[in-house]
């Protein structure tokens, strides 16, 4: 008889209290990657038990960001699954039932202490240098006393009865970590508003949803003993734990809003391919055994192993905070954000590689929205099936780190040009106008404005003017494009088209 290993089930469980940021996205990614690598199931569950802070807007944006990253969940909001609902706010009864069971078994108890009372006690203990744990006052209430208070509708919480013992968290990335329950105390599992606390709801849901691998930020490590206590109280099996390092900003502090634009949508809006962003995030705290860092999603899932994750925090430093100063980066548009980006970040390098790895169709499809955003292209030319536009976009892609950058290049093909200072220097040289005149004549006589024919015309110009080499070509480049850098010249001119080139030259004569 062969026993089959249970399928790996992982989950990402965000609370909808803000946008999905890089830290959360990386956690989601690792859960997703591990599930895919192990041919398991990836679940998304929404932890919205904080009624004050949870918003519908955040809920929607969270799912939208996950969907953009392509972290398709097998069970969760929108797709359903065998353990619905996947929103904690719709599972409240489940938590209450489970809490009642613990109370009945004397593993938890009603607590009638008020928030004010607790606050005073906490201060006092702190003053004495003791850990501010609950003193267990209501633990000893008799059933009768409890019944009376309950009948009087006295406000209450339910606390877990924490027994003295040492808890060891056996963690795949952190190793064995010991905790003493003395500093935990009797913690609340049901809040006075009758909603479950995080530590309680998480355990109930993870168990019921058959999650067997909990992958999350190391910030949760010290919550884990509480959760283990609850697993034990119900006599449930613990999942495997994996607490991965947090992501920090360039100031070495945990990523937060002040680090700016850590929202996933900001990167989407700038035109980073989702493949690139995933590739980059996968490298934050994990490294492929082979060492090759430019990877497709399939490359990554083929190699991903949670056991190879690092304990030390990774820095997410694509933004130059010193340049930003007091600017609130999160409020900037995608275009403005560009000014604060480190142009030569690894993210940009990866992104450039991914853009170039896209199929032509895929690339054109994705870049078009960014192109139509540039106002320089005449409406009659701004068509998805415009072959000339397509060729231009294709030739430009090697320059792009993210799709939005197209606006820095595309207008050179359409707008009227103003020669740069350097270009003017070539044009105003002794032979400048001679070259431009000859060029004009020779290009004007071409019928098929192909790169080959343009190249031939260059030869004729060279023969006519007795000028060759750098002077010839830089002058031509300056005249036709107004710049001293750019694409290969014959190709460039053929993409520009005869009409525009001739028009530009005419203005210089």
7 or 468: CB nearest RNA = 468
Q: Give the residue, chosen from 106, 115, 140, 379, that forms a contact with RNA under the rule CB under 7 A.
A: 115
What are the DSSP calls for 417-475, one per residue? P---HHHHHHHTSTTHHHHHHHHHHHHHT-SS--HHHHHHHHHHHHHHHT--HHHHHHH
Q: What is the 3-state secondary structure (H, E, C) of 267-291?
A: HHHHCCCHHHHHHHHHCCCCCCCCC
- Are the C-beta atoms of residues 306 and 213 closer than 8 Å to each other? yes
Q: How far is the CB of 491 from RNA (least distance, A)?
A: 8
Task: Give the per-residue contact string, 30-49, with RNA (x = CB under 7 A; - = no).
Answer: -----------------x-x
Residues 122-181, interacting with RNA (CB under 7 A): 122, 126, 129, 131-134, 155, 157, 174-175, 177-180
- Are the C-beta atoms of residues 454 and 495 closer than 8 Å to each other? no
- Are the C-beta atoms of residues 179 and 204 closer than 8 Å to each other? no
Q: Give the residue, chosen from 4, 312, 359, 380, that forms a contact with RNA under the rule CB under 7 A.
A: 312
Q: How far is the CB of 347 from RNA (least distance, A)?
A: 8
Size of the site for RNA (CB under 7 A): 85
* 265 binding RNA? (CB under 7 A): no
- Residues facing 177 on adjacent strands: 169
* 494 binding RNA? (CB under 7 A): no
Q: Give the residue, chosen from 265, 287, 420, 460, that forms a contact with RNA under the rule CB under 7 A.
A: 287
Going by C-alpha positions, the residue among 221, 233, 189 that lies closest to residue 92 is 189
Residues 72-101, interacting with RNA (CB under 7 A): none
* 253 binding RNA? (CB under 7 A): yes
Give the Cα separation of 73 and 31 in Å (integer).
10
Token pair belonging to 135: 């003193």
Containing H/E element for 25?
helix 22-37
Residues 14-33, interacting with RNA (CB under 7 A): 14-15, 17
* 406 binding RNA? (CB under 7 A): no
DSSP 180: E
Residues 182-221, interacting with RNA (CB under 7 A): 183, 185, 187-188, 191-193, 195, 197-199, 218-221
Residue 118's alpha-carbon distances to 136, 159, 494, in angstroms, are 11, 13, 78
Q: How far is the CB of 243 from RNA (least distance, A)?
A: 8
Which listed range, 79-87, 240-248, 359-367, 413-421, lies at the site for RNA (CB under 7 A)? 240-248
Which listed range, 35-43, 111-119, 376-384, 499-507, lies at the site for RNA (CB under 7 A)? 111-119
């Amino acid at each position: 008889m062969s026993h089959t290993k249970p399928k790996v089930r992982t989950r990402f469980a965000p609370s909808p209290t803000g946008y999905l940021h890089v830290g959360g996205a990386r956690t989601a990614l690792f859960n997703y990657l591990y599930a895919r690598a192990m041919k398991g199931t990836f679940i998304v569950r929404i932890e919205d038990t904080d009624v004050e802070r949870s918003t519908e807007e955040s809920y929607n944006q969270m799912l939208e960001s996950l969907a953009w990253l392509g972290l398709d969940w097998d069970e969760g909001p929108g797709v359903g699954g065998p353990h619905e609902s996947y929103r904690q706010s719709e599972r409240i009864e489940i938590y209450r039932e489970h809490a009642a069971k613990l109370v009945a078994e004397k593993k938890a108890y009603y607590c009638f202490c008020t928030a004010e009372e607790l606050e005073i006690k906490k201060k006092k203990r702190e003053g004495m240098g003791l850990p501010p744990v609950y003193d267990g006052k209501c633990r000893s209430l008799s059933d009768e006393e409890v019944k009376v208070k309950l009948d009087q509708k006295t406000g209450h919480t339910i606390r877990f009865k924490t027994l003295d013992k040492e808890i060891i968290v056996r963690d795949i990335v952190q190793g064995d970590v010991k905790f003493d329950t003395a500093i935990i105390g009797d913690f609340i599992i049901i809040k006075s508003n009758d909603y479950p606390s995080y530590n309680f709801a998480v355990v109930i849901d993870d168990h019921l949803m058959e999650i067997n691998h909990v992958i999350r930020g190391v910030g949760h490590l010290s919550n884990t003993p509480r959760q283990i206590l609850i697993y034990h109280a119900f006599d449930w099996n613990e999942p495997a734990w994996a607490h991965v390092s947090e992501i920090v900003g360039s100031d070495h502090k945990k990523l937060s809003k002040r680090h700016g634009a850590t929202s996933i949508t900001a990167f989407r809006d700038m035109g980073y391919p989702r493949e690139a962003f995933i590739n980059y995030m996968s490298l934050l705290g994990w490294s492929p055994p082979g060492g090759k860092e430019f990877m497709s999603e399939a490359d990554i899932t083929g190699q991903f192993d949670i056991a190879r994750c690092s304990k030390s925090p990774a820095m997410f430093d694509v933004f130059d905070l010193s340049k930003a100063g007091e600017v609130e980066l999160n409020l900037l548009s995608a275009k403005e954000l560009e000014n604060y980006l480190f142009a030569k970040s690894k993210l940009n390098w990866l992104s450039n590689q991914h853009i170039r790895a896209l199929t032509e169709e895929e690339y054109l499809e994705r870049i078009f929205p960014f192109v139509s955003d540039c106002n320089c292209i005449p409406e009659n030319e701004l068509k998805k099936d415009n072959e000339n536009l397509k060729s231009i976009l294709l030739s430009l892609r090697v320059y792009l780190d993210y799709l939005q950058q197209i606006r820095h290049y595309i207008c050179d093909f359409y707008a009227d040009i103003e020669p740069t200072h350097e270009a003017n220097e070539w044009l105003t040289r002794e032979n400048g106008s001679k070259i431009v005149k000859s060029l004009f004549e020779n290009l004007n006589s071409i019928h098929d404005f192909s790169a080959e024919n343009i190249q031939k015309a260059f030869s004729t110009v060279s023969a006519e003017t007795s000028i060759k080499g750098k002077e010839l070509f830089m002058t031509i480049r300056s005249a036709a494009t107004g710049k001293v850098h750019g694409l290969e010249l014959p190709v460039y001119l053929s993409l520009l088209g005869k009409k525009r080139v001739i028009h530009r030259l005419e203005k210089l004569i």
